[in-house]
Amino acid sequence: MTKPKPLADDLQKYLIPAFERKAKSIAAVDVRALTSYTDALIIIEANSQRQVTSIAEHILSRLKDQKIRVIGAEGVKEGEWALLDYGNVIVHVFESRIKTYYNLEGLWADAPRMDLSGFQTGPGEDDDEN
């Protein structure tokens, strides 16, 4: 795998709400060179169906507050796989079992990953190290 690409500033507004809800894992994939329908995929893993719904609703709310409108949203209430389409960015929020089954990261294995390390090392997030 290639070195992760730097995170584009315009993607932060989509990622901050996900990190606020303590998702199990988050990946951002640059698909501009591989598809014409979007520029980036954000793939979020949640620990439960309830957390899928919570993360998806939080992202929708936070972006709405910033006057960013979702083009389409599917699966938010069901809580297994929520898809939030913002045009240039598509956010997938998966329950762990469903994420493993569909393996979107494997499907887009040729696409460069974006470096999210700046989010993961924020203050107070590394509570497990002691």
Q: Which domain holds residue 103?
A: 24-115
79 torsion bin: left (phi>0), alpha (psi -120 to 50), beta (else)? left
pTM of the prediction? 0.84
Does residue 121 lie in a domain region? no
Does residue 9 lie in a domain region? no
Supply the pLDDT for residue 8: 64
Q: What is the pLDDT of residues 32-41, one digit of tens each?
A: 899 999 999 9
Does residue 65 lie in a domain region? yes
Does residue 10 lie in a domain region? no
Identity at 105, one-letter amino acid code: E
Does residue 17 lie in a domain region? no
Q: What is the pLDDT of residues 40-68, one digit of tens each?
A: 999 999 999 999 999 999 999 999 999 99
CATH number of the domain within which 101 lies: 3.30.460.10
